[in-house]
Amino acid sequence: MNIEVGKQLRAVRTAFGLSQRELAKRAGVTNGMISLIEQDSVSPSVGSLQKILAALPMTMADFFTRDMEAGGDVVYRAKDLPDVGTGDIQYRLVAASKPDRKMSILWETYEPDTDTGEDLLTHSGEEGGVVVEGELEVTVAGNTWVLGPGDAYYFNSRLPHRFRNTGKQPARIVSANTPPTI
Amino acid sequence: MNIEVGKQLRAVRTAFGLSQRELAKRAGVTNGMISLIEQDSVSPSVGSLQKILAALPMTMADFFTRDMEAGGDVVYRAKDLPDVGTGDIQYRLVAASKPDRKMSILWETYEPDTDTGEDLLTHSGEEGGVVVEGELEVTVAGNTWVLGPGDAYYFNSRLPHRFRNTGKQPARIVSANTPPTI
DNA sequence: TTGCATCGTCAATTATTATTAACATAAATC
DNA sequence: GATTTATGTTAATAATAATTGACGATGCAA
């Protein structure tokens, strides 16, 4: 009967792009149970909730820490990136309004029709990047955008995500991760 | 039947210095239920666990983030504090082996027979300090030490704690908190 | 000792969760 | 349009959590 849990589970499940039946199958519970939980008409045992979250995957601690909202601040269009360059060198700052970020850099190339795989990525930390050349489809928490040169992204890495080159030529991006993966 | 939860609840409850019956009364559940949970012979509903944790108080996210072990590294005796001073000024470093700490400072005086109150303190962040003068009784996670001049402490502030001057003269300490409370 | 209070545990019952197996709806395929 | 396949919901049942009320053990006081 405790509110919150059902709504949170539904938000998380849809963010991972799974149906109730798919999630139930992976978790080893029934689809009906997930339906009842999401309607807050039952309070699941922590054992059941752990099985369900493990199938996403997600930890209990993350589940009960609701900073999972994508909140619109995911995509930053090229024209909206503030120029903080000085002198001859030009820097365009991504997600300038978000404080307390810790970063490091990667240079990536996606050949046509390649992506980060069937399963959605999800891990701790934050990540962001800028498309330099070509066209990149970005999916975060169930929302999909197609980015062109100069467009950028920034999100919490716990949100399930996927990158895909949907264009005819290689796509190149400059990306940043935290904590540093390299 | 999922291990972990029972042991964690017992650790947390005893750290708060409560009996099963006391906690059950505050939480609005039965003492038998808490006994069964702690033995991992049932998997409580998240509603029940939330009621129990709310009575401590503790959040679900904190409960499932088990960095709650006091682990012996709570009390640092005067003779064990490494001297990192340079030149005329002497600094003795508390908890030198623990990385990633963020600090700020307080100067406190406890008159004889005063303490931080009946209810145990518990909040986010970390705190540490050094007794400068007098005698201070420190209780953390159910363990009690009496510290004299030069002795020091350091612990996660989520562990329930209490300070008390058990001596005949004022007790003075230098303490540090994070995040800065002043 | 004896009595009294508190502790944690446990069998039996009650209340709730979890499963089974259906249903209704909507979108895709023939 | 009819058929199939997927979606989320729900009544009835089975399985499990939660309560009740007891028990033995321990510590303290009379």
**Residue A23 pLDDT > 70, yes or no?**
yes
CB contact under 8 A, B47 and A43: yes
SS3 at position A164: strand
Report the alpha-carbon distance of residue B176 to residue A96 in Å, rounded: 32
Whether B65 contacts chain A with CB within 8 A: yes
Nearest DNA or RNA nucleotide to B41 (CA to C1') = D17
**For testing contact with chain B, the best of A3, A41, A45, A52 (most B CBs within 10 A):** A45
By the 8 A CB rule, do B171 and B136 touch?
yes
- Between CA B103 and CA A11 the distance in angstroms is 37
Domains defined for chain B, CATH in brackets = 5-63 (1.10.260.40), 75-178 (2.60.120.10)
> What chain A residue is nearest to B59 in terms of C-alpha separation?
A64
Q: Is residue B49 less than 8 Å (CB to CB) from chain A?
A: yes
The percent of residues in chain A predicted with pLDDT above 70, rounded, is 58
pLDDT at position A148: 80
Q: β-strand A105-110 against A171-178: which pairing, if any? A: antiparallel
Please give the mean pLDDT across all residues of chain A: 71
pLDDT for res A4? 79
Looking at per-residue confidence, does B132 or A146 come out higher? A146
Report whether pLDDT(A22) > 80: yes
Greater confidence, B56 or B123? B56
How far is Cα A154 from Cα A39, in angstroms, rounded to an integer? 32
Residue A120, classed as helix, strand or coil, is: coil
Judge whether A2 and A43 are in contact, CB under 8 Å.
Answer: yes
Confidence class for position B24, pLDDT limits 50, 70, 90: very high
Q: Is the pLDDT of residue B116 over 50?
A: yes
B43, B48, B64 ranked by CB distance to A47: nearest:
B43
Would an 8 Å CB–CB cutoff place A2 in contact with chain B? yes
What was the pLDDT predicted at B37? 94
Q: Does A105 score more than 80 pLDDT?
A: no
Report in angstroms the alpha-carbon separations of A133 from A76, A107, A155, B105.
16, 12, 21, 51
